[in-house]
Amino acid sequence: MPALLFLLCGCASIPDAVRDVPDGAAVELDHTPFFPQQRYQCGPAALTTVLAASGVDASLEALIDKVYLPGRQGSLQIELVAAARTESRLPYVIDGTLAALLAELEAGRPVLVLQNLGVKMIPRWHYAVVVGIDEKQSEIVLRSGTDRRRVTPIDTFLRTWRRGEYWGMVALRPDEMPAVIDRERYLAAIAALEETGQLESAAIAWRTAGARWPDESVVMFGLANTALASGDYVSAESGYRRLLAQAGASTAARNNLALALAHQGRFDEAMTEIKVALGANDEPRFADVLQDTLNEIQRMAERAR
């Protein structure tokens, strides 16, 4: 029988790095709202919970439309993340450790987690929201399913969370930073806001990141990009120039500078910049884009004539 148990659950132990939290750590976000789920709709319910806790006037019905997949009787992680962006929030996937989870709770943010309540071979995937940890009692408090306050032993929670690959996300306001920051993941999350057209949120988030890392070129690029995409060509221009002055050659910044100039009707300057970028050819992956930009500038110049 023990062999069978082992086979079924693949009982690897939980690494200390995942489990460790300071002795006596205790926090519970009592005020986190609760949205009891309907059948199979733990995804939308959990998402509504973290969004509402973050101050969004979130509607469960609307979020069902955004994330529920009837044919799979569930919701995908990717769509939960995508939907959070449409509600002007910055979805951030936390480090998969209890310490990172605790740090978010201490910052006042509940954490949406993916659990597998079954076992690997017979999974029962479930989204819930962690609202509390009590190290002494060895308990985790969740908003889960139809339970407003579900208390689970930490060990059981960790096993179910491990089978969900320790996946957890928070819905940050764009002016908030994660409690435990993985810089690359955080900047990519902001870039995703920009890419999906959440320009206002993106601009706030880039400024927030810029307050922490004023010389980070990705942040400067992001700020200039949100300006360019919002039609603020003058700010965009100065942003790209600042970047080029600091970082030396940057194909992407020069490409976008050329566009910012062209959109101000300064086609000659735009052509000069794009030709410099094409001549340098230091980032082959952007070669086609540069050529497209050159064509675009020519088209714009002809139309303006």
Partner 1 sequence: MILTRTRALVMRVVSVSLICMGFAQVAPAGMIGTSQLLENEARAESLTRIEMLLARDDVGQQLMTLGVEPALVLERLNAMTTEELLALEHRFDEQVAGGDALAIIGTVFLVLLILELVGVTDIFKSI
The closest alpha carbon to 189, from 82, 111, 286, 100, belongs to 82
Site for partner 1 in 34-53 (CB under 8 A): 37, 39-43
x/- track of binding to partner 1 for residues 218-247 (CB under 8 A): x--xx--x--xx------------------
13 binds partner 1 (CB under 8 A): no
The closest alpha carbon to 129, from 155, 109, 106, belongs to 109
Q: Which is nearer to partner 1, 31 or 39 (CB)?
A: 39
Per-residue b or e along 50-78, where b marks 16 or more CB atoms closer than 10 Å to that residue's CB: bbbbbebebebeebbebbbeeeeebbebe
β pairing state of 111-116 and 125-134: antiparallel
Q: How far is the CB of 199 from partner 1 (least distance, A)?
A: 7
| Structural contact between residues 51 and 135, judged by C-beta atoms closer than 8 angstroms | no
- The Cα–Cα gap between 60 and 58 comes to 7
Phi, psi (degrees; rounded to nearest 5) at 107: -85, 0
Q: Which of 35, 92, 125, 186 binds partner 1 (CB under 8 A)?
A: 125
Binding window for partner 1 (CB under 8 A); candidates: 14-22, 33-41, 50-58, 103-111: 33-41
Q: Which of 74, 96, 108, 210 binds partner 1 (CB under 8 A)?
A: 74
147 binds partner 1 (CB under 8 A): yes
77 binds partner 1 (CB under 8 A): yes
Please state, in angstroms and as integers, the Cα–Cα distance from residue 154 to each residue in 12, 84, 99, 117, following that order. 16, 27, 12, 14
117 binds partner 1 (CB under 8 A): yes
Q: How far is the CB of 103 from partner 1 (least distance, A)?
A: 24
Q: Which is nearer to partner 1, 29 or 45 (CB)?
A: 45
Contacts (Cβ under 8 Å, ≥6 apart) of 95: 180, 182
265 binds partner 1 (CB under 8 A): no
296 binds partner 1 (CB under 8 A): yes
271 binds partner 1 (CB under 8 A): no
Q: Which of 177, 192, 271, 301 binds partner 1 (CB under 8 A)?
A: 192
User: Which DSSP letter does residue 122 get?
Assistant: S
Q: Which residue has the tokens 């601009």?
A: 203
Instruction: With CB under 8 A as the rule, give the number of residues binding partner 1.
Output: 87
Q: How far is the CB of 8 from partner 1 (least distance, A)?
A: 7
164 binds partner 1 (CB under 8 A): yes
